[in-house]
Structure 1
Amino acid sequence: MENGLNTRVLLVDDEEDFLAVLAQRLEARNLTVSKATCGEDAVDIVEKKDFDVIILDMSMPGIDGLETLKRIKLGHPDAEIIMLTGHGTIQAGIEAMKLGAEDFIEKPVDIQELMEKIKDAKQKRILVLQKQSKEEIEKILKSKSW
């Protein structure tokens, strides 16, 4: 993923300045970035568009990061989600992982660390999609009476 080719990322954070700067930093590394400033918008966007990785803030007004994580995972159980927080607690991180988050990172974000986590999450997503494709092909082959 050195050049970020075909990596689609959704950033979700209510701090608009932070969101803009992080999006710009990821786009400079050739990632395709979409943004949402609240959990409700993130859930709607995920219903309409496919992402390799979702970077989701824990603390937001309206539905918080954990509730947003639950809602996204409900419709997209294979979504790769990295939780992001400025006030991280071990308990919140454990809860996020139990709900299906791929990883957890604290603000201020170290861009190299985030890029590594994005790379790992995308590789995991590719493996999941390959497995699903293989299973689908096997299912089709079994259903045909050649």
Structure 2
Amino acid sequence: MRRIQLLLVDDESDFLIAYARRLARRNVEVSTAPRARDAIEAIKAAHFDVVVMDVMMPGMSGIEALKTIKKIAPGLPVILLTGHANSEAALQGMAYGAFDYMLKPVGTDELYFKIQEAVRAGVAGVA
């Protein structure tokens, strides 16, 4: 089975390091970006099956980045993560085309299953 190509975007380096390691053990090829602008550049430069991105980041928010990502790669599934039970941000993200959103802290298994679901949906959407 082909490894899932994941772009993990979060301004918290501890989160990036921990989840990149955990997901790598589950046959996921993880690229990381500490800022939304870095994520957008990465998406322009390489192929990803799915993006997992924090909503609250300095500079450009995850919601703003989502809008740009959907212009660059409309079929790319984006899962938003939020540390705040902010239903407005979640609804806004869904309105702009996010695949889903999850509340932090998120369990590795829970996140992995959501990533698999997003990849399956993305592949189905492309076919």
Q: 1:46 maps to what in 2?
A: 43
Counterpart amino acid of residue 14 in structure 1 = D
Which fold has the larger relative contact order, with Cα–Cα distance below 8 Å and residues 6 or more apart in sequence? 2
Q: Using the TM superposition, give the Cα deviation of residue 125 of structure 1 relative to its aligned residue in structure 2, in angstroms.
A: 1.1
Which consecutive unaligned segments of at least 5 residues does structure 2 have? Answer: none
Counterpart amino acid of residue 50 in structure 1 = H
**Residue-by-residue CA offset, 1:59-91 (whole Å, 9 max, x unaligned):** 000101000101111111111000011113111
TM-score normalised per structure 2? 0.96
Q: 1:35 maps to what in 2?
A: 32
TM-score normalised per structure 1? 0.84
1:105 equivalent among 98, 102, 105:
102
Which is higher, the Rg of structure 1 or of structure 2? Answer: 1
Counterpart amino acid of residue 121 in structure 1 = A
Q: RMSD in angstroms over aligned alpha carbons? A: 1.0
Which consecutive unaligned segments of at least 5 residues does structure 1 have? Answer: 131-146
Counterpart amino acid of residue 5 in structure 1 = R
Task: List structure 1 runs of 4+ shifted beyond 4 angstroms.
Answer: none
- Correspondence 1:126 to 2:89: no
Say which SS state the counterpart of residue 57 (structure 2) adopts. coil
Q: Distance in 1 between matches of 2:23 and 2:2?
A: 12
What are the equivalent positions in structure 2 for 1:2-81 lying under 5 Å apart?
5-81=2-78
Say which SS state the counterpart of residue 120 (structure 1) adopts. helix
**Residue-by-residue CA offset, 1:95-131 (whole Å, 9 max, x unaligned):** 000000001011111111111111110101111222x
Q: 1:143 maps to what in 2?
A: none
